[in-house]
Amino acid sequence: MRKDAGWRWLIPTIIVGILWGCAAGVQVREQETRFQGDRRWVEKTIRKMSLEEKIGQLVVTRYTGQFFNYDSPYLKNLEELVRKYHLGGLILFGGEALETAHFTNHFQKLARVPLLIASDLERGAGNQVTGATLFPPLMALGAADSEELAYEMGRVTAIEGRALGIHMTYAPVVDVNINPDNPIINTRSVGEEPEQVARITRAFIKSCQSHGMIATAKHFPGHGDTDQDSHSLLPVIRADEERLKQVELYPFQAAIEAGVESIMTAHLYLPALEPEEGLPATLSPRILSGLLRQQMGFKGLVVTDALEMRGITGYFGDEEAALRALKAGVDLLLLPPDPVRVIERLTLAVRTGELPLSRVEESLRRVLLAKTRLGLHRQRYVSLDRLPLILGRQEFRDLAWKAFASALTLVKNDNQLLPLRENKNLVLLSLSSDPGDYFAGRRLAAEVSSRLPGTRVFYADGDTGQEKLDEAFSAASEAELVVAALFSSLRSGKGTVDLEPVHIDFIKRLKANGIPVVAVSFGSPYFLRHFPEVDGYLCLYRNTSETQELAAKALCGEITIFGHLPVSLPGLFPRGHGLILEKIKEEK
């Protein structure tokens, strides 16, 4: 080899290294500039603030977009919190479109500093506001494996949300759902593969924020590997640091690199990251200031999950939790049980030197800069007249329908029972594991019966007595085919998304008697673990009127099914499995 040959090989390496360094430098500069805003307005505003006003800007409480008379005690209490205690923002929990927009304007008029209005829009603005567009949960987008649909969902969410006066969504969920028994994440997650979770949620984040709404990646550092609900207690994740880096933290790092402006903390204890026994991530300086800020390079807003949740209140006092969260590096304190007491306690902590004023003002600047990036210092009101022109447009509804339809996943179809044939002795069972939800499958029953007259329908929920169940079992035992529609909603504090044991036993008894059964899940895809012997299994990931209509169309061969499991069903089917079933009939 010639003496200079080694140099010829080394030069490209050096060039690549220089280019990589330049790219890294650009990324750092982007991180530094991405979270800028109107600093002159921010500093001018801060100079005029009292200590109480500064702290009030870091506290956020709830409201509902329903009709209230102006002399309502509920409304008067909120007005006092905004006007007297200078809250930084409000969180919308449900409501009607016109009322929501009207009262966001009303509260903005009362606030000296513009309010940051947020809401949990995990499934679009329709997740909270009647009349806005409702999308499926993220696991449906994982089943469709569509970044395009995620992008469109982010776009529509931002357009409709901003029209209502909402500036920030607590979405997307970037948790990696690797625990089939997770009672609170489940279908809210894209799935179990970190790279897919990152791809889908990154598309949502970029679109949502490019259309004027702050996106929030949650729940840091990852809530997907729990079998407990932090609304009720403090879950523990015992994975080692390397596993956390490869799985839980991977989508958060991707979200940070995509420019996500907000990250929500989780009320979880992770021994690998926090040595203090029982200290939740929300209150951990090592996790929030050390890991998130310093190691992962996040420059945006850090917001707590609700401080009223038992994952915090069951172990720490309300005021202590708020104080420790701020010290840990949190910027916004969401839903403390008593916001007035929290503001008073934090004010005292600053005056006594327990909490540095610099720590308060550091977060205050982030909050105010975010408000200027949203343009709230120039225009804080929305037009009620424009709502009928924006919410629920046909274009938006078509996109949501496409997202629901693209997610349908056929896991099993033994003996080619699907599509359903006419002239079958068919029994449809609607089995809801939610007490009081007796007619959960009413839309499905109407749609199937209109296509297959003579279908016998039976309903049962968590409160249905044995006599009714015996009647349904007797009829199902004489059927040529049984379709079992399975409903179990995902609710905070419920503790499980699983099925009623009596309903599981019902299906297993039918199969033991040799009855062909097609199970249809309108919730968790993991239901199949209880009765792998069923002949057919179709997943739709959520119970909505859209999914019930789509299920009927799919069962009767009117639409093509082409989704794939975004999670594995342990011992049964791997992630990515899905049968394609072409349509054989025209849609009704």
Query: Which of the residues are catalytic?
Result: 231, 305
Distances (CA, A) of 106 to 68, 101, 433, 513: 12, 9, 40, 63
The answer to whether the CB of 556 falls within 8 A of the CB of 451 is yes
The answer to whether the CB of 58 falls within 8 A of the CB of 326 is yes
Q: List helix spans (H) across 352-462.
A: 357-373, 387-390, 394-407, 442-451
In angstroms, rounded to a whole number, what is the distance separating the alpha carbons of residues 54 and 113?
Answer: 10
The pairing of strands 333-334 and 481-487 is unpaired
Quote the Cα angle for 305-187-59, to 5°. Answer: 15
SS3 label, residue 508? helix
In angstroms, rounded to a whole number, what is the distance separating the alpha carbons of residues 47 and 467?
Answer: 71
Of 97, 116, 67, 128, nearest in space to 393 by CA: 97
Of 177, 248, 245, 200, nearest in space to 567 by CA: 177
Positive or negative torsion for Cα 281, 56, 318, 65: negative
Query: What is the biggest distance separating any 2 CA atoms in the chain, rounded to whole angstroms?
Result: 92
Tokens for 167, please give them: 């500036």
The answer to whether the CB of 263 falls within 8 A of the CB of 218 is yes
- Strands (E) across 104-185 are located at 116-119, 129-130, 168-169
Stated as kind and residue range, the H or E segment containing 22 is helix 5-34
62-96: buried (b, 16+ CB within 10 Å) or exposed (e) per residue? bbbbeebeeeeeebeebeebbeebbbbbbbbebbe
In angstroms, rounded to a whole number, what is the distance separating the alpha carbons of residues 39 and 31?
Answer: 16
CA 253 to chain centre: 18
SS3 label, residue 263? strand
Tokens for 484, please give them: 């079992």
At which residue do the structure tokens 């966001």 appear?
104
Tokens for 508, please give them: 């297993």
DSSP string spanning 59-94? EEEEEEES---TT-HHHHHHHHHHHTS--SEEEEEE
In angstroms, rounded to a whole number, what is the distance separating the alpha carbons of residues 494 and 183?
Answer: 8
Of 484, 478, 469, nearest in space to 515 by CA: 478
Angle between helices 147-164 and 194-210 (to 10 degrees): 40
